[in-house]
Every structure is written in structure tokens, then in C-alpha cells.
Amino acid sequence: MHEFPMAMIFPSNRVRRTPFWDGVEAAKPLALTVYNRMLLPAAFGDPQDEAEHLKRAVQVWDVAAERQVQVRGPDAAALVQKITPRDLSGLGLDRCAYIPVTDARGGMINDPVALRVDEETWWISIADSDLRLWVDAIATMGRYDVEVTEPDVSPLAIQGPLAEELCARVFGDAVRDLRFFHVTRVAFAGHAHVIARSGYSKQGGFEVYVEGAHRGMPIWNALMEAGADLDVRAGGPSTVERVESGLLSWGNDMDAGTDPFEAGLGRFVHLDRVTDCIGHAALSAKKAFIDAHGLSRAIKPVAIAGPLPPSDRRWPVTLDGARVGQVTTAIWSRAMDTGVAIGTIDRPAWGRDVTVHTQDGPRAATVRETFWT
Amino acid sequence: MHEFPMAMIFPSNRVRRTPFWDGVEAAKPLALTVYNRMLLPAAFGDPQDEAEHLKRAVQVWDVAAERQVQVRGPDAAALVQKITPRDLSGLGLDRCAYIPVTDARGGMINDPVALRVDEETWWISIADSDLRLWVDAIATMGRYDVEVTEPDVSPLAIQGPLAEELCARVFGDAVRDLRFFHVTRVAFAGHAHVIARSGYSKQGGFEVYVEGAHRGMPIWNALMEAGADLDVRAGGPSTVERVESGLLSWGNDMDAGTDPFEAGLGRFVHLDRVTDCIGHAALSAKKAFIDAHGLSRAIKPVAIAGPLPPSDRRWPVTLDGARVGQVTTAIWSRAMDTGVAIGTIDRPAWGRDVTVHTQDGPRAATVRETFWT
């Protein structure tokens, strides 16, 4: 671990603990972050060891900080469709969907996963911005007949190649038949919890939407006990693995200055079918420009020669001395034997050798076309 | 310092550094927090020593995390008035105003300070929720002719009884004539920065709205150099001092479940004059109930017998064994020789001796009518 910053997190109620905190604390996290005003454990050991373990075994992640925006009422489906250009008209009760959410300028303000809990109830599982305020303001101003709340629901992720075996032991064999981004309910201690085959890694796994904080530790403990022979460990989203795999992080790799096309999310933008979503005009103009001229810039993988300092500020990228973009996340990968990074890069530099300017000095780098795994 | 949590903050770009970071780092912060996805230094030494120093000298606080929501355009004033029940029609260009911001249910979603930078430009200096999303969604849905952005503006607070002397040395004697919550501009290195007599302590002082990140460290350094003989130090909002003084913290002491009346902010709710703000109907109903029956609960000072563990979770408050509220912030005060706390307390317990249930066990406590200073 790079030791940045050296200070502790000041205790307060504003930064909330999770229903799984007793389990997290027992596993002795080395580093935390704050996400949606909630503690999110980010490292329990060396990042290289943790990434390797994730790729061969199974980890339980406290991702309660992925808070839910609950939209309930007769107009719930209409409101959720209003906030995204992705066509959700065919989304069944047994599915969840990754949805770009843009402002009127077409900039990404969140990239959540949406699912329908029942006919009139949706959960939007959010990245680190207060999407409840956005959705609630639209509901208020648009007079949608819904209630927008943050329910007492906390996702717990089980990730890794042995996640299916572990979840089958704890929640029953039905999870084995669940397909990617499909949703069902599984009984645990008398309550039927929503579970999806999903998660913020490419190693496979599930996310359980734990309803009721008091139900958090019993599920955590059951997973840890049932997985002892599977080498189950407490973990958290792995920067090493997610960058190798090309999973973007809102707030790091994209923000309101990024449009879905630059972010590689164009396949989720259905402007012909979704004609009334917020940002439609701006996205249509961007799409027309891209169809005529191609992208001016895009989020790309960048291989960087080490050693790398902590990725705690944006690193300028230059080609022949001129700025062509910035690196937004970077970390050493022992498995790939290179620094792996994500950056927003102007088109002239795609596929080119470039220089990345870290706080410790310049590094030779290459803008790649594909992520590593 | 209570050492909670023992882990470090994981380095990332999502949690942003401030323009004053080099100064903060040189002063060796012991504890940080994350506020509006930005690092906020919370302690550089023992909280009791820091509170005493704040009351006798002067501190420079990196409060860049109080991000600005900029509303610019012909409808800026109308939009800002839409989001608050406080009547802003008389707010001159030389004033700033603390404004409750509520959702349609009348719940507090932020409690920022608003100021007019020019005829068509407002800055809303926010507490720790993404108010830009709320304001931007209202602008979009209501077709207000404005642009809503987060400008490159970072507040720096100078707080303490010697703040006026220090600011006069650095920014000129004009600051001496500035009254509380009045605003002017002061020149520094060729740029006229907005400055207000304001800040998150009751010890007096100013907040400079530093325009342009590159201008941050020159101002920080000038204050530190000019204040050497005043014993100027790097600091941050003091939990000890703010609780003694009765300054509430959004996210700690209030949230969307709190209405402005319970929060003691009724004097900023002008329902007769501001008839079209969001939440008007809900606030009117609450007001009518309170006029007829009084408040059912309110935010109150609570004196608690020590010792106190870290205030990192909400502590139930009981009277004769029945729950009557919760403590939302608590810390020992060496000056007051008691634990000082803020809680939301049901009316039957006002003025009464109660029991506060900390993670380390029950404590004798008293619900007070007034804060300590």
C-alpha cells in the first residue's frame, strides 16, 4: 500500500458505517474510502495479493455504499426512463440493467444499475453522487406520481470464480442457474432477498441486496463460515483487477464532463426509442457529430512503465510535447508486469507511445486499444 | 484523538485534493474527512488544544470542500428562490445568506450559504450533498434560463479573534469594516476575490472564495507568513467549538428526515412571502401544526457525563427507559468540563435528565435549552 494520506478518517455520523461493519472491522481493513457518505473498505492487504486471490477464490465485499434510490409508485417506470437514454421498456422483473444517467448537456452524472423490485418499485444502485436528489427533483418538478427514498437496503458482493459455489451453499442451488445481470430472490433466515449475478469485477459473482441493516451480519457470517474451505476473504473493489478488466469508476474515470460515447457506453444510448429522456437533444447532437467525424477523445487503456506513485491526482498525457489527455486511474499490475491505467485520450494519440506525467516524474506509456483481460 | 477507523484513506481521483493541499500536507493533518468528494482536513492536533487556540488566536482552514454551485443567467435569482423558503428578494450584492434547502416533503437536503456574485450570477456554498444535481434538475425541468456549474472556486476560512487583524494585513483594512454575513471583494496578486465575514465557528472571521486553483497556495502562504506573530495555525472546523456554540452539521445533526423548524431554522422560513418554493405545501402544513400544538421534537444541546467514545454512530437517548431521541454529534469539552452534544429530542425530554447509550455503555445526560457559548 502506498501510504496516502497518512491521516485517519475523522469519526463522525455524517460518514456512515455499514450494516456489515463488524465483519469489516474484524478483518482489519488497511484502507477505506468514503462513497455516498458511507465507509467503503478498499484494501485488506497488498493490492497485488488481493487481485490474485480474487481471480482464484472468492471474496465478500461490503459495498453497502452503493446506496439505493428507490422509486415507487404508478409513474416509477416513466421516471426511471426519463433519467436514462437506455431503453428500459423490455426490462423484466428478472433483470437488472446498467444505465448511463446524463444531465441536459449529455454529461455523465452517475452510472448505476437499475432493477425492478416489483411492478411499481425500482431500485437504482448508485455510484458516488447523490442521484436521489436528481431523481427526486425531476419527480417533483415533473409531477410524477412516485415516492423517491433511500431504503434500508445494502448490497453485499460475492466475487470470484468460487462465488457460485459459495452462494449455492448459503442461498441454495437456484443461484447456479442465474444468468449475468439476471435477478431472483433467495431466502435467508426467513427473508427473501434480491440477488443478481453482477458485481464490480470480471471474475464472476453475485450481489445480494440485503434488506434491513439487522440482517447484514448474519449473512456476512454465514458466507464466511460456509466459505472457509474455499479460502473466502473479506475484500473490496480491486483497482488492479478493475483496470486490467476495463471497469470504469464514476468520479475517477468519468464525470459530468464525460459523455456516454466517450465512455464507451454508446451501446446503451437508444435515442431513436427513448425520445424524451433528459439529455436527448445534447446526446443526439453528439451522436450526429460522431457519426460524421468520429470521436474526438475517448476513455482508453494506457500501459505505463513503473514504478508508479499513488494515483491520487490526474496525470497529464503528452504526445510529442503536446497535451493529449489525462490518466484518471493507474496502479501497478504484478500479473501484467506493467502499470495499468485508464485515461481520457484525444484521438491523435490512440495506439501511440506517449508520456505520462506523474507527481514523481514522466513515465513512458502506450495508449492501447483493448484492456488486458 | 480517538483512533477510528485505524485505516488510511485509499488514494483515488474520485476523492479530490484541494488547491490548498500542499499547505495542509506541510502542516501534517492527523485526521481527514471526505466532504463533497473532496478531502477536508479535520484535525492537526488534540481537539481540546485546537479549540482553545481557535478561541484565542487565528486559524486558516482549508474548506475548499464547501464546493460552489454556480447559477448564472437571466433566471438565476428565480431559481435560487425556488429552492429555499427564505425570502431572498432583498439580498443585495454586498450580502450572503444562510438558506435552508428542503425537498417537497419539507426535509432538509442541504443548508448552504448563498451569495450574489453579480446581477445574474449566484454561488451556493454547499454542505455535504450534491446540491448541484438538485438545482440542475430543477433548472432543466422548470426550463429556467440558467447554467448550473461547479466553478473553480475554493473557500478558505480565516477564523478566530485575530482573524480580522490577519486579514487586514493580507487583504487591506477594508475588511475591518465588513459586517457579519456581508460580502466585498479584496485584491490579492492582481485578482479581486470575494470575501465574506462568515465561517463555521462563533469566534469571528472571514471566508475568501478563492477563484482559480492556482491562486490557492499563494494566499495560504501569505496568511501563514503575515500571521506568524499572531500564532496562526492550520486548522479545520472544530467539533468541540461548534457543539459548544450550537453550529449544526448537515449529515450529522440533520438530514432529509429533519424539517427546518425542528432544526431551529424557522426564522429563515418565509412562507407568506415565498409562495412558490419547493416544499411550500409541506412546510405550511408543518407550520400550522406547530402553531397549534408546538414542536414534537427538536434539535437540542445535550450535556453528557464522560468519558465519551468516538461519535461515529447515533446514540439512542432514553427517559425512564423509553426512547426519546438520539445524539447526533458528541465530544468531550475540556473548557466546559463535560461532554457536549447535539441531539434530536422529543418534547417530553426537553430540560430533563436522560440516559445516552454509547457503544461503551450508558451515560448520564441532561437535555439543555441553550448551547454553552
B272-301 pLDDT tens trace: 999 999 999 999 999 999 999 999 999 999
B34 to A32: CB separation less than 8 angstroms, yes or no: no
DSSP tag of A212: S
Query: What pLDDT score was predicted for residue B8?
Result: 84
Which is it for strands A205-211 and A338-346: parallel, antiparallel or unpaired?
Answer: unpaired
Neighbours of A191 (CB within 10 A): 14
What is the pLDDT averaged over residues B100-118? Answer: 97
Instruction: Spell out a b/e string for A261-276, using b for 16 or more CB atoms within 10 Å of the CB, else e.
Output: bbbebbebbebeebee
- Cross-strand partners of B101: B110
Cβ–Cβ contact A329 with B under 8 A: yes
Query: What pLDDT score was predicted for residue B3?
Result: 46
- Taking the whole predicted model, whether its pTM rises above 0.95 is answered as yes
Q: Which of residues 118-157 of B touch A (CB under 8 A)?
A: 128-131, 133-134, 136-138, 140-142
Q: Residue A238's closest chain B neighbor by CA?
A: B10
Spell out the residues 6+ positions from residue B19 whose beta carbon is closer than 8 angstroms to its own. B64, B154, B210, B213, B214, B215, B216, B217
ipTM exceeding the 0.85 mark: yes
- In single-letter form, the type of residue at position B294 comes to G
CA B168 to chain centroid, in Å, comes to 24
Query: What pLDDT score was predicted for residue A4?
Result: 47
Q: Which of residues 34-93 of B touch A (CB under 8 A)?
A: 34-35, 37, 39, 41-43
A32 to B5: CB separation less than 8 angstroms, yes or no: yes
User: Which one of B12, B35, B36, B312 would you mutate to disrupt binding with A, by most A Cβ within 10 Å of its Cβ?
Assistant: B12
* Average pLDDT score over chain B: 96
Grid cell digits, residue B60: 486558516
Helices B216-226, B163-171: crossing angle, 10 deg rounding: 120
Cβ–Cβ < 8 Å for A237, B10: no
Which is it for strands A8-9 and B31-35: parallel, antiparallel or unpaired?
Answer: parallel
How many angstroms separate the CA atoms of A332 and A47, rounded? 9
A33 to B9: CB separation less than 8 angstroms, yes or no: yes
Q: Which residues of B are less than 8 Å from A133 in CB distance?
A: 109, 129-131, 133-134, 137
Neighbours of B284 (CB within 10 A): 16
B34 to A9: CB separation less than 8 angstroms, yes or no: yes
List Cα–Cα distances, B245 to A110, B114, B164, B188, B200, in angstroms.
Answer: 37, 22, 20, 32, 10
Q: Give the 3-state secondary structure of residue B193.
A: strand
Sheet with A113-118, side-by-side order of all strands: A96-98, A113-118, A121-125, A68-72, A147-149
Q: Which residue has the cell 443478481?
A: A196
B15 to A25: CB separation less than 8 angstroms, yes or no: no
Query: What pLDDT score was predicted for residue A6?
Result: 56
Q: Which of residues 238-267 of B touch A (CB under 8 A)?
A: 239, 249-252
Q: Which residues of B are less than 8 Å from A314 in CB distance?
A: 13
Q: What is the residue-level pLDDT of chain A in tens, covering all 373 positions?
A: 344 445 688 889 999 999 999 999 999 999 999 999 999 999 999 999 999 999 999 999 999 999 999 999 999 999 999 999 999 999 999 999 999 999 999 999 999 999 999 999 999 999 999 999 999 999 999 999 999 999 999 999 999 999 999 999 999 999 999 999 999 999 999 999 999 999 999 999 999 999 999 999 999 999 999 999 999 999 999 999 999 999 999 999 999 999 999 999 999 999 999 999 999 999 999 999 999 999 999 999 999 999 999 999 999 999 999 999 999 999 999 999 999 999 999 999 999 999 999 999 999 999 999 999 9
List Cα–Cα distances, B11 to A2, A6, A253, A372, in angstroms.
Answer: 8, 10, 14, 22
Rounded to the nearest 5°, which phi and psi values hold at A285? -65, -40
Chain B closest-CA separation from residue A59 CA (Å): 19
Query: What pLDDT score was predicted for residue A29?
Result: 93
Grid cell digits, residue A239: 483497482
Spell out the residues 6+ positions from residue B229 whose beta carbon is closer than 8 angstroms to its own. none
Cβ–Cβ < 8 Å for B223, B170: yes
Cβ–Cβ contact A276 with B under 8 A: no
* A-B Cβ pairs (cutoff 8 Å, strict): 181
**A204-241 pLDDT tens trace:** 999 999 999 999 999 999 999 999 999 999 999 999 99
Nearest Cα to Cα of residue B27 among A310, A6, A11: A6
Chain B closest-CA separation from residue A264 CA (Å): 19
Facing residue for A138 by CB, picked from B11, B35, B141: B141
- Cross-strand partners of A312: none
Chain A closest-CA separation from residue B90 CA (Å): 26
Which is it for strands A297-304 and B183-188: parallel, antiparallel or unpaired?
Answer: unpaired
Cβ–Cβ contact B167 with A under 8 A: no
B33 to A13: CB separation less than 8 angstroms, yes or no: no
- The strand ranges marked E within B104-182 are 108-110, 113-118, 121-125, 147-149, 153-159
Chain A closest-CA separation from residue B36 CA (Å): 9
A33 to B10: CB separation less than 8 angstroms, yes or no: yes
Q: Which residues of B are less than 8 Å from A25 in CB distance?
A: 5
User: Which one of A1, A6, A14 would you mutate to disrupt binding with B, by most B Cβ within 10 Å of its Cβ?
Assistant: A14
Cβ–Cβ < 8 Å for A138, A148: no
Lowest mean pLDDT among A244-253, B9-18, B62-71, B219-228: B9-18
Cβ–Cβ < 8 Å for A233, A53: yes
Q: Residue A25's closest chain B neighbor by CA?
A: B5
Rounded to the nearest 5°, which phi and psi values hold at B33? -135, 175
Spell out the residues 6+ positions from residue A177 whose beta carbon is closer than 8 angstroms to its own. none
Rounded to the nearest 5°, which phi and psi values hold at B239? -60, -40
Cβ–Cβ < 8 Å for A16, A9: no
Cβ–Cβ < 8 Å for B40, B62: yes
How many angstroms separate the CA atoms of B181 and B97, rounded? 7
Q: Which residues of B are less than 8 Å from A33 in CB distance?
A: 9-10, 12, 14-15, 34
How many angstroms separate the CA atoms of B39 and A49, rounded? 28
- E strand or H helix at B365, and its extent? strand B361-367
Q: Which residues of B are less than 8 Å from A3 in CB distance?
A: 8
Which is it for strands A96-98 and A113-118: parallel, antiparallel or unpaired?
Answer: antiparallel
Q: Which residues of A are less than 8 Å from B107 in CB distance?
A: none
How many angstroms separate the CA atoms of B42 and B44, rounded? 7
Facing residue for A15 by CB, picked from B17, B34, B314: B34
Query: What pLDDT score was predicted for residue B6?
Result: 56
Nearest Cα to Cα of residue A151 among A125, A190, A188: A125
Chain B closest-CA separation from residue A240 CA (Å): 13
- Cross-strand partners of B34: B39
List Cα–Cα distances, B139 to A75, A178, B97, B262, in angstroms.
Answer: 21, 42, 21, 28
User: Which one of A2, A4, A12 would you mutate to disrupt binding with B, by most B Cβ within 10 Å of its Cβ?
Assistant: A12
Q: Which residue has the cell 462513497?
A: A35
Cis ω for the linkage preceding A307 (within 30 of 0)? yes
Spell out the residues 6+ positions from residue A80 whose beta carbon is closer than 8 angstroms to its own. A71, A88, A99, A114, A122, A124
Cβ–Cβ < 8 Å for A38, A13: no
pLDDT surpasses 80 at B106:
yes
Nearest Cα to Cα of residue A42 among A55, A61, A58: A61
A109 to B133: CB separation less than 8 angstroms, yes or no: yes
Chain B closest-CA separation from residue A109 CA (Å): 8
Nearest Cα to Cα of residue B193 among B68, B314, B341, B326: B68
B252 to A103: CB separation less than 8 angstroms, yes or no: no
